[in-house]
């Protein structure tokens, strides 16, 4: 196996159908090129291929560069990512994303269980760093979701909304004691 000498070579390898080539490219991007590769990896989040978006997200999650937060959130919000955005949400785990929580909650309210659960965990971990205005925005988004709920049969959405409300309540209590 020959060495990947440039970011371009590693990015091409990441797009490969050969899993061994893609895995090797990922290692080069994470361990050799790191922060220098972030802009190119963020561009891959716009790919039509869910596989390519997931690979780019995993690497960005390993590099932990805050320049990747906005592109990851945009990719999560994009309609083409519906049903394929769980990995991207999870890659935000170790980043400071408190200011993005309203956008993530909005996506989660119409997403599958995996995304809802991951956003719930992020919300519970990072709400303490959000501003009061951001928490108020999350409350507004949740109220809208409750009003537009198609039927009472959407039990999972109802449970999810209750968890968000409980988390916000805990935030408000903590904020008053502060």
| Cα distance between residue 149 and residue 16, in whole Å | 42
Whether residue 151 is predicted with pLDDT greater than 80 in this model: the reply is: no
pLDDT tens profile 98-116: 999 999 999 999 888 899 9
Q: What pLDDT does residue 152 have?
A: 53
Q: Average pLDDT, stretch 55-64?
A: 96
CATH for 1-93? 1.25.10.10
Quote the pLDDT of residue 81: 92
In this prediction the pTM is 0.89
Q: Please, are residues 141 and 102 in contact by the beta-carbon 8 Å criterion? A: yes
Tokens of 14: 């990441």
Residue 153 in this model has a pLDDT that exceeds 60: no
What's the pLDDT score for residue 149? 64
The dihedral formed by the CA atoms of 103, 105, 107 and 112, expressed in degrees to the nearest 10: 160
Please state, in angstroms and rounded to a whole number, the distance separating the CA atoms of residues 60 and 39. Answer: 10
pLDDT digits (tens, 9 = 90+) for 114-146: 999 999 999 999 999 999 999 999 999 998 888
DSSP per-residue letters across 62-73: HHT-GGGHHHHH
CA-CA-CA-CA dihedral for 177, 129, 77, 138, to nearest 10: 10
Residue with more model confidence, 151 or 2: 2
What residues does each domain of the chain span?
Answer: 1-93, 96-178
């Amino acid at each position: 196996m020959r060495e990947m000498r440039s970011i371009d070579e590693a990015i091409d390898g990441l797009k490969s159908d050969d899993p061994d080539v893609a895995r090797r490219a990922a290692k080069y991007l994470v361990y050799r090129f790191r922060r220098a590769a972030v802009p190119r990896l963020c561009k891959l989040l716009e790919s039509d291929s869910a596989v390519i978006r997931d690979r780019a997200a995993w690497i960005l999650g390993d590099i932990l560069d805050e320049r990747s937060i906005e592109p990851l959130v945009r990719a999560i919000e994009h309609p083409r990512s519906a049903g394929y955005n769980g990995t991207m949400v999870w890659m935000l785990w170790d980043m400071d994303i408190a200011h993005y929580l309203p956008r993530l909650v909005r996506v989660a309210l119409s997403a599958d269980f995996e995304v809802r659960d991951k956003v719930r965990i992020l919300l519970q971990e990072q709400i303490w760093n959000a501003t009061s205005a951001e928490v108020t925005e999350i409350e507004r988004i949740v109220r809208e979701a409750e009003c537009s709920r198609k039927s009472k049969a959407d039990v999972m959405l109802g449970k999810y909304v209750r968890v968000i409300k409980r988390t916000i309540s805990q935030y408000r209590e903590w904020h008053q004691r502060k």
